[in-house]
Copies of this chain bind each other. A is one copy, B any other.
Amino acid sequence: MPYVNIKITKEGGPDGTGPTDAQKAELIKGTTDLLERVLNKPPSATFVVINEVALEDWGFGGLPVVEYRKTL
């Protein structure tokens, strides 16, 4: 009975506005397979939910992501 929530910043992908549906399908398959391989969790009882988060809504190092990256 796994539930996996993947939060990522909304960026990247072919046009810079986030992953494609095919990339999301890879994340879904990859995490489901991982849980089956490592813990024998059945895919038929595994949920994966992906959330894309706008850059201004994600903070790291005390700064919004865009500002944070300027410090690197």
Task: Kindly supply a per-residue 1/0 record for chain A positions 3-47, scoring 1 wherever the CB is within 8 Å of any chain B CB and 0 otherwise.
Answer: 111111100100000010101111111111111001111011111
Contact between A39 and B12 (Cβ–Cβ < 8 Å)? yes
A binding-site residues for B, Cβ under 8 Å: 1-9, 12, 19, 21, 23-35, 38-41, 43-53, 56-65, 67
The complex is assembled from copies of this chain, and their number is: 6
* Bound CA span A26–B53, Å: 18
CB of A52, distance to nearest CB on chain B (Å): 8
Complex: A10 Cα to B17 Cα, angstroms: 20
Residue of A6, A23, A40, A59 ringed by the most chain B CB atoms within 10 A? A59
- Interface pair A23/B6, CB less than 8 Å apart: no
